[in-house]
Structure 1
Amino acid sequence: MKTIKLQIADSVFEKVFYFLNNLPKDEVRIVENSEVEDWSFLEKEIQKGLDSGILAKTHEDIIKNLKQKYA
């Protein structure tokens, strides 16, 4: 098997995923790169919280605390 990396716009992600998911399972295996996506999503959510002005911690403090807790 060969491995490829795709960067897909949100607008077509569902269509591409549907297509790949319907190919024969013994010929295509979908491997999600969740590490990158998880941190990216988390950073965006933290930034939304910081922009709201409710929390006094900095972005760096939050990430540092999360890494200490879960790493």
Structure 2
Amino acid sequence: MNKEQILEIISRNIGEVLPDLEGYQAKPSDKLVDLGANSVDRAEIVMMTMEELSLNIPRVELFGVSNIGELAEVIYEKLQ
């Protein structure tokens, strides 16, 4: 799986959690908070993405992630 595919999964999950953004293709520079996601929404998007990819990433490893591209990068590295 490549980073583009991971971004597609994140985008789909954003649309599920934030219905106003259904069909939105997230850009790596997008920040979930800027898209209207509160802390619960952000946690749900991350959890849905990890579940879909059968990953369990400790939350502390996600602490420094500031945008969707960085989130995709962390997930990509864990899949390798």
- What TM-score do you get using the length of structure 1 for normalisation? 0.32
Q: Which has the higher contact order (CA 8 A, sep 6+)?
A: 2
- What TM-score do you get using the length of structure 2 for normalisation? 0.29
